[in-house]
Structure 1
């Protein structure tokens, strides 16, 4: 998997001054476009589109300072339809306009070329299993919240507090199937996994596909395979680290890729919420399924 990702990075470098098709990059990486975007964002810490933009503007910055082409020629060469659009993008990355940078020879910001490698520490193992599930639905409350990498997510905490004990008990009574009980389900709205990126957070239960939602929202999910990861440790840090490790360590070294669908979290906290045991359900497919 990492070899394929690095071949895709080579392809990006070869075509920084031309068109780049994410579907073609995914084919080079021998994976689906959906999984390629998700995995790239997790490994790189930024969406694919942002990395390409920063690399292009890094190369464009060198051309601006070299002075061999006009600013408009550089803008068009790197995919900008006007000098104004190029200047805005240039300033967003470098903190200075291209004209001023050329006049003053200012220091610019560079986005280094990336390559991916897997660091194996060997001091821990990741417990997981795969589960084939028939179609089901998530029934519960949905809220648009920002992504938080470390510590409590205040928007999610407020969402759950706002439901009240009576509503939570009514939701728990609709639970049918695994994972049992009240769960969180995260639906990423894009491949952007940067801090603050918006996502839909569901808090509710898994239920039969024809279950009456009883006035709650419902998210229908098709039959498919899920990778289920187990975690136990400080709350919420251990869960957030598990999420990170699944995409940066497990996927690159296992014959699975993510498929569209929510990531479901079942949490069993200690009485004081200082620690928690949890299961994280990720929708996956075996790479043989795409062969």
Structure 2
């Protein structure tokens, strides 16, 4: 199953379970990546968060049920995952601009969120600077943060802000050798199958590469060391102002590069490399199909 097929099968799974429980663990298994990476990929391709898409699809289907059935509003509320009729009514009004009861009592204007379908597109609007490298095993050391997957997109920018304030970034830039992956690294790992509720986010530097004459930098007190195996990495330039520069690369990578590349994702974390003067790289582990 190729990347586009995996995405569409994930959407099909969501569609089959709108009136029931949607398991993020199952989504990650179908997609073949962590739920955090799937959520990030989805947001770049669909231009909306996964949670918003699921909520919009459920409220779309709920409106159809109100129009075409005699089910009680409370039963429709429970069917689409709302704990009470009040919470359903608030969500319905926010999305459709009308109360559920008014759908049956008169003619109202409703919104519809259609089911998504992914397909390969070759736009060629912007070129991507990248290289494919067979990189040896390496280790990083840094500060680890436990993050709830559901709040990662809000929490991670705060982690970076705090890293600047507490001097971690200054120390990394000034006192450590610039081994590759270079610069200060942002690594999201965990959130894998069976552990989709929590992940680990690491602000780190590379402290050893498994090549001759590379000196291992001892781990500082209060930090952890993490090891990554030799792998094939697609390394993309993401130069420019943040966060637009990295967002642009992710959007092109998931929407254009990966479906046409002959590669699929490896089961390793994505590594963001932040250097100075708005120079960034994104390392994504891949496997030849």
The answer (yes or no) to whether the contact 1:140–1:205 under 8 Å persists in 2 is no
Aligned-pair distance for 1:222? 3.2
Residue by residue over 1:51-75, the C-alpha shift from the partner in whole angstroms, topping out at 9 and shown as x without a partner, is: 2222111110122234522112322
Distance in 2, matches of 1:76 and 1:28, equals: 26
**Alignment match, 1:249:** 256
**Alignment match, 1:213:** 219
TM-score, length-scaled by structure 2: 0.70
Q: Does 1:43 align with 2:51?
A: no
TM alignment of 1:178-217, pairs within 5 A:
178-180=180-182, 182-187=183-188, 200=201, 202=203, 204-208=204-208, 211-215=217-221, 217=223
Unaligned runs of 5+ in 2: 193-199, 210-215
Q: Which secondary structure state, in structure 1, belongs to the residue aligned with residue 14 of structure 2?
A: helix
Q: Does 1:136 align with 2:142?
A: no
Distance in 1, matches of 2:186 and 2:119, equals: 30
Q: Which secondary structure state, in structure 2, belongs to the residue aligned with residue 247 of structure 1?
A: helix
**Alignment match, 1:280:** 282
Unaligned runs of 5+ in 1: 192-198, 270-275
Q: Does 1:160 align with 2:171?
A: no
TM-score, length-scaled by structure 1: 0.69
**Alignment match, 2:8:** 6
Aligned-pair distance for 1:162? 5.3
Classify 1:252/1:83 alpha carbon distance in 2 versus 1 (closer, same or farther; 3 Å): same
Q: Which secondary structure state, in structure 1, belongs to the residue aligned with residue 181 of structure 2?
A: coil
Aligned-pair distance for 1:113? 1.5
**Alignment match, 1:235:** 241
What CA RMSD, in Å, does the superposition of the two structures yield over aligned residues? 4.0
**Alignment match, 2:229:** 223
The answer (yes or no) to whether the contact 2:219–2:225 under 8 Å persists in 1 is no
Q: Which secondary structure state, in structure 1, belongs to the residue aligned with residue 275 of structure 2?
A: strand
